[in-house]
Amino acid sequence: MTSQAVKLDEEDFYNSLVETFRDAEYPMLKDAIYLDHAGTTLQSKSLMEQFMADMMSNLYGNPHSGSPSSQLSTNRIEDTRSKVLQFFNADPEDFDIVFVANATAGIKLVLEGFQGRDEGFSYGYHVSAHTSLVGARELASSSRCLNNIDVEHWLSGTEPLVDDCQDLKLFAYPAQSNLNGSRLPLSWASRARSVNAYSLLDASAFVSTAQLDLGDAKTAPDFTTLSFYKIFGFPDLGALIIRKDSGAVLQERKYFGGGTVELVLCVKESWHSPKTQSLHSSLEDGTLPFHSILSLNAAIEVHGKLYTSMDKVARHTAFLSERLYRGLASLRHSNSVPVCVILSNPSQPSPSVNEQGPVVAFNLRNGYGAWISNVEFERLAAVQKFHIRTGGLCNPGGLATSLNLEAWEMKRNFSAGLRCGSETDIYAGKITGMIRASLGAMSTKADVDSFIAFIREFYVETSPVHPTPSPQSHSDVQSTIKVESLTIYPIKSCGGFEIPIGVQWEIRPEGLVWDREWCLIHQGTGQALSQKRYPRMALIRPTLDFQDGLLHIRYQGPLSPGVSDEITTPLSFNPSLFRKPGEDRTLSSQVCEDIIVAHTYSAKNINKFFSKILDVPCVLARFPAGGSGLNTRHAKAHMQNHQISRGGLNAAVLSGELPLTPPDSDNEGRKRPILLSNESPFLAISRSSLEALNQEIARTGGKQAAASVFRANIVLGSSNSNNALKPYSEDDWASIRIGAQRFQMLGSCRRCHMICVDQDTTEKDREPFVTLAKTRRFESKIFFGSHMCHIPSQVTTMEAQCPTIRVGDIVSVES
């Protein structure tokens, strides 16, 4: 018999052992498959019974007096301390234990000690740290987020922990990442000590399926924090285990509470004397959660009875997670594209190689490689009785690293509405969370197998996945049209921002991303300002800076001396930047329909900047995140009668997502007035139509029109000199394809005299309005350019998840 076979037998034996008692011990699992052990383990029936028996047969009082009931509690708490230390193989000579509410409270207690020094302290934390460790940086005088390489450089002396380092240093890291289960070297703790830094080990995720061994005080972390509910399911309690030799620094904390002082004076004099008998007596403020502490006795005992030892749990869960990893990794769509993108290290069949906990973090893709939303997955999983965690998992650094999310992308997503637990989790084609399956002592092979079967049933595409249509396959005779330029207008009616050549720009149902995200509101009328009335708006030029996450707004016209010509505001949608509802006293009553939904900025310098330039009291406003300002940003667009009569209208009905009215039927189209028709998701103009217009203007000696006066998003031009694009041919198009994306033509754009404002000088001319009135007037309205909207792809491909266009894209007409 090979050793592999022996090992498997052993695992199978242990698995069947768990199976024998699971139904009885965990009756709540009758209708549930629990895969969230890294979050919480479940409490067993024996534990609850043993705890109840203890509580019902003994009189436990609050441990603060000499009464027998109080003394009984005190004594039992002290016994429990020893028992817990023993559980982690920690010698009470070398270690003390402080009971805290949870692992987070343990972290905060350590920080309180470090804050006691007036000089402050430096703080380094590992990139895979839980949010509760990250937050500690706000208390440090300097801090840094370190990856494995940074840690090695620091420990080997080639780099400081933090630039501008204080004498007092703290380095914090998780023994196991709660995000993907990867384990970090426990040896870092003693190496940190050798370079004069204290170590704080967050063992919360690690201890649920591994033996934390503090047997050697010389190499142990100075401070170890954990939550018991992750090991035993009960009680909801945490501990901070302190290496006694390192404990003094915590006694420098300033706060004291009931229980941690010998004597306190308040009247006439402020003086107190802290308790000194033991570390825990000086750190445990207030009444201990004594019932919870006492229940630990039962928890440890029952856990030992059911599972024998933590090492057995470690082997069992390693065996299961290797099975889970292999199962998920092997799933393939019919075109052999992998179904799961796994974000954990391969699970190791041998727990002695201690680099990965029994956690498999992953994301799902469809046959075209497009992401499956975590939110949708979690809903379906819940219906199928799987209890599993998805999302950002309280681990910001690990998430960003695993998913390759840059800081500016996260901020952009935040601006677009991404929040912890929000509905949308795919932005610009990137997924922002993950699925985490974590196994525990009571997990079984059957749990793993049914989870893999669930993914296979619902997410593996077995019918042939058709190759995605390539843009070329649709090119026809007119494919010599291309995108000449792309422009967005971040602030409605202000200057444009030209999208650089080569940049793929995301398109949304409401238009090009960042187009008309902001507007200026008249403080008196509550209405959005427009160039028609305030031509100088053309000289207000916004620029998007993704590197720093800022919107720069520069004024290019003359200013009185001493007035700044530029302001910036974050691209991220930070609620604190805005006035609260009701705060807008001047606006509230008169706000017109398009403004009610916009959030106005509260910063005086920003609003003064615009008010000064335009010489009108106004405020900057932003449409709410997530495109909910859609229907007010863009009004209705229609096929015009001149197009209908020429037979241009055979347009299909639009996607239901857009709050635009579908193109009118012939009759309706004649009757309905055009509202605010200079807006729709996309406005395109044709270079050859513009040239034709300018030729007309030239004949009368008028001022030629620049493309910019039409404030289009897309300028379509010919890609060669044969001028494939006929003037005004766009009037007859039904739909077009730009690159890989399809657009529905929504009708011609009605024009007003705003097109007479020169966008560089703000000078007004008669042209091109006058010539357009002569050549492009239909039923007493004049038209130039085309409204369009995006037609979402029917299949969710990678491109469909983040539809983009760019300058140079080939355009083909579908008629």
Ligand X SMILES: *Cc1c(COP(=O)(O)O)cnc(C)c1O
Q: Which residues are catalytic?
A: 394
Identify residues 461-490 at the interface with ligand X (CB under 6 A): none
Rg value, the chain, Cα: 33
266/273 Cα distance (integer angstroms): 12
Q: Give the distance, in angstroms, between the CA of residue 718 and the centroid of all CA atoms in the same chain.
A: 41
Which CB, 38 or 314, lies closer to ligand X?
38
Contact (CB, 8 A) for 132 and 322: no
At CA 591, angle to CA 587 and CA 595, rounded to 5? 110
Q: How far is the CB of 204 from ligand X (least distance, A)?
A: 3
Which CB, 38 or 499, lies closer to ligand X?
38
| Window contacting ligand X (CB under 6 A); options: 57-65, 197-205, 701-709, 792-800 | 197-205
Identify residues 208-227 at the interface with ligand X (CB under 6 A): 227
Identify residues 225-244 at the interface with ligand X (CB under 6 A): 227, 238
521 binds ligand X (CB under 6 A): no
Of 205, 279, 339, 789, the residue at the interface with ligand X (CB under 6 A) is: 205
Q: How far is the CB of 208 from ligand X (least distance, A)?
A: 8
Q: How far is the CB of 664 from ligand X (least distance, A)?
A: 57
Long-range contacts at 658-661 (CB < 8 A, ≥ 24 apart): 658/509, 658/630, 658/789, 659/630, 659/631, 660/634, 660/636, 660/746, 660/789, 661/636
| Window contacting ligand X (CB under 6 A); options: 202-210, 539-547, 764-772, 791-799 | 202-210
Long-range contacts at 545-554 (CB < 8 A, ≥ 24 apart): 545/571, 546/408, 546/412, 546/571, 547/408, 548/408, 549/407, 549/408, 549/411, 549/412, 551/490, 551/518, 553/491, 553/609
401, 636, 757 from 676: Cα distances, Å = 45, 7, 18
At CA 529, angle to CA 714 and CA 494, rounded to 5? 35
Which CB, 103 or 127, lies closer to ligand X?
103
Which CB, 205 or 736, lies closer to ligand X?
205
Which CB, 184 or 302, lies closer to ligand X?
184
174 binds ligand X (CB under 6 A): yes
Which CB, 143 or 227, lies closer to ligand X?
227
Q: How far is the CB of 235 from ligand X (least distance, A)?
A: 12
Site residue total, ligand X (CB under 6 A):
13
**Which residues fall within 8 angstroms of residue 552, CB to CB, at 6 or more apart?**
542, 543, 545, 566, 567, 568
103 binds ligand X (CB under 6 A): yes
**Which residues fall within 8 angstroms of residue 173, CB to CB, at 6 or more apart?**
125, 126, 128, 129, 133, 151, 184, 188, 199, 200, 201, 202
Which CB, 208 or 741, lies closer to ligand X?
208
Q: How far is the CB of 173 from ligand X (least distance, A)?
A: 10
Q: Which of these, 493, 570, 569, lies nearest to 531 by C-alpha position?
A: 493
Contact (CB, 8 A) for 426 and 371: yes
Which CB, 222 or 517, lies closer to ligand X?
222
Contacts with ligand X, 30-49, as mask; x by CB under 6 A: --------x-----------
| Window contacting ligand X (CB under 6 A); options: 200-208, 271-279, 668-676, 752-760 | 200-208
38/388 Cα distance (integer angstroms): 10
202/799 Cα distance (integer angstroms): 40
Of 15, 204, 402, 493, the residue at the interface with ligand X (CB under 6 A) is: 204
799/476 Cα distance (integer angstroms): 22
428/516 Cα distance (integer angstroms): 18
Q: Which of these, 178, 197, 411, 439, lies nearest to 317 by C-alpha position?
A: 439
Identify residues 599-658 at the interface with ligand X (CB under 6 A): none
| Window contacting ligand X (CB under 6 A); options: 11-19, 96-104, 424-432, 505-513 | 96-104
Q: Which of these, 761, 450, 726, 510, lies nearest to 637 by C-alpha position?
A: 510
Q: How far is the CB of 104 from ligand X (least distance, A)?
A: 3
392/378 Cα distance (integer angstroms): 13
The length of the chain, given as a count of residues: 815
Which CB, 88 or 743, lies closer to ligand X?
88
Q: How far is the CB of 11 from ligand X (least distance, A)?
A: 25
Of 73, 132, 143, 317, the residue at the interface with ligand X (CB under 6 A) is: 132
Q: How far is the CB of 359 from ligand X (least distance, A)?
A: 10
Which CB, 314 or 805, lies closer to ligand X?
314
Q: How far is the CB of 97 from ligand X (least distance, A)?
A: 16
| Window contacting ligand X (CB under 6 A); options: 98-106, 374-382, 516-524, 549-557 | 98-106
343 binds ligand X (CB under 6 A): no
Q: How far is the CB of 292 from ligand X (least distance, A)?
A: 13
88/215 Cα distance (integer angstroms): 8
Of 108, 126, 130, 303, the residue at the interface with ligand X (CB under 6 A) is: 130
292 binds ligand X (CB under 6 A): no
Number of helical (H) and strand (E) elements in the chain, helices listed first: 23, 35
Q: How far is the CB of 255 from ligand X (least distance, A)?
A: 19
Torsion of CA 224, 229, 232, 233, to 10 degrees: -170
Which CB, 438 or 480, lies closer to ligand X?
438
For the chain, give percent helix, strand, coil, nearest 5: 35, 20, 45
3-state class (DSSP) for residue 4: helix
Q: Which of these, 412, 669, 734, 710, lies nearest to 544 by C-alpha position?
A: 412
Q: How far is the CB of 739 from ligand X (least distance, A)?
A: 44
570/337 Cα distance (integer angstroms): 39
Which CB, 393 or 528, lies closer to ligand X?
393
Which CB, 174 or 509, lies closer to ligand X?
174
DSSP E strand stretches across 451-560: 481-488, 497-498, 505-508, 511-512, 518-522, 540-545, 550-555
Q: Exposed (0-12), middle (13-18) or buried (19+): which is 411, by Cβ within 10 Å?
A: buried
Q: How far is the CB of 230 from ligand X (least distance, A)?
A: 6
Structure tokens belonging to residue 48: 């609850």
Contact (CB, 8 A) for 408 and 547: yes
202 binds ligand X (CB under 6 A): yes
104 binds ligand X (CB under 6 A): yes
Of 44, 73, 74, 102, the residue at the interface with ligand X (CB under 6 A) is: 102
| Window contacting ligand X (CB under 6 A); options: 100-108, 272-280, 684-692, 777-785 | 100-108
Structure tokens belonging to residue 289: 């959660």
Of 44, 178, 640, 759, the residue at the interface with ligand X (CB under 6 A) is: 178
315/309 Cα distance (integer angstroms): 10
Chain residues in the site for ligand X (CB under 6 A)? 38, 102-104, 130, 132, 174, 178, 202, 204-205, 227, 238
